[in-house]
A and B are shown apart, each in its own frame.
Chain A
């Protein structure tokens, strides 16, 4: 078989903006989310949670709850085993406390009952005796040698002495001679920054329906970004073989990384196992805030040296991240990403992970990178101000390019940073005038992107239409993009293709929908699966025509004779080939499985204009523009949506969103009233500018676009506010009291 593509690919379907296949169901309320399915005889599951930040569980008496009519099962950590694998043990212990509660809201017991009222009444009958322990929720406090120890025995050998046991791991990245680099600088600035933990704020709370039968087979329906991961973790915790647990991913009401792990799913399965009935669990918003996975809280020092003409001579960062009560590796991603946009001769980053009495961090869009790049881009901006340099010119002067040895090790291939910088410089936003109390901030951003394991089956139906089955929950319009790539490759209209997300029994393993990987990796596998189907169609036609496979060619959705020498045959369409497939060897399907590499890193730069009310500290975002390299934008609406969505969330982090802990270590704001996600009227129109620097690792040049957009807003906003006030802001969020305090401290 030959693939005939003339010159540079002219896309027909990729790059257009067709309606998403899940759109109508979602608009009319028919889409089935996590809480939307029921089963005969179903029970409702509720969880009893710790009111303490840190306490030993002396005893749990569930007898009164068990005796309440309507209660069918009560479980505690004793109903689970103790996994040998430490990562799995952490997941399980986060779902149900074992021995100690490690944060406010930590689950200690669960009830399955015939109604929510009975379940709630039963929770009140469970008697838990706690012995309160000293707690720590602040990352810097937790590192001190005399800090209360959250969990002991977890310190990795890389950690130098002198810290408390809460410091569990250390990492270091970089190259070059820092001392020599700083010696060449005309100006060195060193500052410390902090960022608060934030929550993904997805509208749909975690929800699931679990049903385990007496024969050990189980079904689980849940909202998740990765049902194969849910299967792996839940089957291991429940001591089942993976094949006996079928997991179906529901439609998902937002994930942003927060639905990449399990919280209630193993609990629902255990309740179902114990009660012999299906069990549905739906978290309240309070539970979502207290006991799922927000981001790390961070504390970072950055030191950068620059020459008078804006060349960075040396740069270093010390990052202290806390991902809550369990070890996490997010600081490593921060330490790798911190200086990625720069081409540096001398750079070093050091990172420490720190335990605190907070829920275990989960991913949130580019985990670890926004906090690190916020600190770096703030110092670069301050150097520009002090040296009287244009912040965009300075980024251009130091920009990483193809061939740059990155600060974290790899040498960059084709990357789009310079293109985004040039686009920003040329955009009217950059030169628009500003009024009183207004400031303009700029920041670059970066994310690694990921490929990973993917399985795709593409069936040619007998009417010539196409069914694609893949294994990645659609959190950003990916079904549309996958259908577009299948249609593009097969030369059929978009409307002829339907992409569905299979359950764990209907297609092989797919990694979690994370790392901005789906359009890249599933798209790549879909294109390859389409090519597999094309090969089979060519083979069938060659067989019909009685000529060699080498003598047919695939072109524009038809099998044709490769040349006049091959014979005079009328080209056959997919419809014609499909219609007679039963006579030519049976159904036609393409398949592809891959551990995709070559995801291609992603850069974006943002410009933000703000106005700060000097009397109240209120910040209004006046104008916002995002420039990002998409490689190839398969569905530009959804690429723009990712760029705008990340910016909107980043603006929230920058201005008001934060986990606020009281002196008692309890979360003070577990709800959308006091955890302040921006509302629509808080945001200006966010203008997206898509750049397309093709990724050599994908047949169409696609790069992931989902995460980079949350990286620059923190520094873009902080730099804008700092310039508007004439005071350097060093902590997020920049809530109005924080801003007024900084202004009054500076005596402006």
Chain B
């Protein structure tokens, strides 16, 4: 196995594109190194992107934030501006692993690991965030929900990797929230999860909403009917019930050691309701 530490995006792309065998991108390594140790993957080439300029910085851009692909959970958690604008994105990201893992894990890595249960992903989808992808044909911006195509599978072509994630500018009276269900209080994988991103009008009526659910389908899902259930309401009981029903309807989970179809389908609706109420309060809404 070769280990390369390029100092430019172009060099990283060249290395990845030219490797005949199995190539893997290393950012935090909290998935890759575990998979290598357990023998799940045996790459021929590992490309460490942490030395490339911009990979470890958070930069204001067009009223939003461009977050380098190797920014860790702990670093983003200490960025007061991002936390203020996107508390749901940060809280999802910060749920990954332990304190030690938070020192290294990245949102781009969580996205590219393509687990349906990745904690950083639903909030990014709800945020309408985009990923900037570098590759042999230059750069392109892709919506988050286009990256994973199934458990462990992503849409990136050979030689491509994510260089940054962009969180857009947002209007006043906007906020977001993320909740997951785990059987324990820490150190676990989501059995079901939901992210809600809201913008309120001056009177507290929801004017815009995006709702995403995790761990209940092969990929994280954006649930349009769930968002529609909230828009034009002040999160009254009927709206919340409609939200929960829409999320449960969008769920297409599996039975496995972490939960049953029946359980996940029900609980994803419960989580969406609770996350919506948190986002509403954060956006300045009063119940």
Contact = CB atoms under 8 A, between A and B. Distances in A.
Interface stretch (B12-20, B152-160, B221-229, B252-260): B252-260
Contacts of A616: 181, 267, 270
Interface string B174-188: 000000010111111
A656 interface: yes
Interface string A651-675: 0000110001000000011000110
B3 interface: no
A491 interface: no
A679 B98 CA distance: 11
Chain A CB within 10 Å — which of B39, B183, B258 has the most? B183
Interface stretch (A414-422, A456-464, A529-537, A735-743): A735-743
Contacts of B256: 668
A157 interface: no
Contacts of B257: 660, 668-669, 674
Contacts of B262: 737, 741
B98 to A, nearest CB: 10
Given A615-B270, A668-B257, A676 B184 contact: yes
Given A615-B270, A668-B257, A736-B263, A673 B188 contact: yes
Contacts of B188: 673, 676
A656 B263 contact: no
Nearest to A678: B184
A681 B258 CA distance: 20
Contacts of B24: none
B189 interface: yes
B132 interface: no
Nearest to B183: A656
B104 interface: no
Interface in A705-739: 735-737
B184 A673 contact: no
A740 B263 contact: yes
A379 B7 CA distance: 68
B185 A676 contact: no
A618 interface: yes
Contacts of B267: 615-616, 736, 740
A655 B270 contact: no
A676 B270 contact: no
B266 interface: yes
A679 B185 contact: yes
A311 B259 CA distance: 42
A740 B185 contact: no
Contacts of A655: 183
B181 A736 contact: yes
A741 B263 CA distance: 8
Contacts of B39: 120
A500 to B, nearest CB: 35
Given A615-B270, A616-B181, A616-B267, A737 B186 contact: no
Interface string B118-138: 000000000000000000000
B260 A737 contact: yes
A741 B266 CA distance: 11
A421 B102 CA distance: 46
A682 interface: yes
Contact of A673 (B181, B185, B189, B260): B189
A674 B187 CA distance: 10
Contacts of A736: 181, 183, 191, 259, 263, 267
A735 B185 contact: no
A616 B181 CA distance: 8
Contacts of B184: 656, 676, 678-679, 681-682
Interface string B2-15: 00000000000000
B151 to A, nearest CB: 16
B74 to A, nearest CB: 19
Contacts of B260: 737, 741
A689 B28 CA distance: 46
Given A668-B257, A673-B188, A735 B183 contact: yes
Nearest to A672: B187
A268 B267 CA distance: 49
Contacts of A676: 183-184, 188
A668 B254 CA distance: 15
A679 B181 contact: no
A741 B262 CA distance: 9
Interface string B231-270: 0000000000000000000000000111110110011001
Nearest to A733: B183
Contacts of A737: 259-260, 262-263
Contacts of A740: 263, 266-267
A256 B256 CA distance: 29
A655 B184 CA distance: 9
Contacts of A678: 184
A120 B39 CA distance: 10
A618 B183 contact: yes
A618 B181 contact: yes
Chain A CB within 10 Å — which of B38, B258, B262 has the most? B258
A66 B262 CA distance: 51
Given A616-B270, A669-B257, A682 B181 contact: no
Contacts of A681: 184-186
A168 B266 CA distance: 43
Interface in A73-112: none
Interface in A635-657: 655-656
Contacts of A656: 183-184
B269 to A, nearest CB: 9
Contacts of A286: 38
Interface string B91-109: 0000000000000000000
B183 A679 contact: no
Given A655-B183, A656-B183, A656-B184, A674 B258 contact: yes
Nearest to A652: B184
Chain A CB within 10 Å — which of B38, B39, B257 has the most? B257
Interface string A603-617: 000000000000111
Interface in A572-625: 615-618
Nearest to A681: B185
7 contacts: A615-B267, A656-B184, A668-B256, A679-B185, A736-B183, A736-B191, A736-B259
Given A615-B270, A674-B189, A741-B262, 10 more contacts: A120-B39, A616-B181, A618-B181, A655-B183, A660-B257, A674-B257, A674-B258, A676-B183, A737-B262, A740-B266
Interface of B: 38-39, 181, 183-189, 191, 256-260, 262-263, 266-267, 270
- A-B pairs, top 9 by smallest CB distance, nearest first, are A737-B263, A681-B185, A668-B257, A615-B270, A660-B257, A679-B186, A656-B183, A737-B260, A681-B186
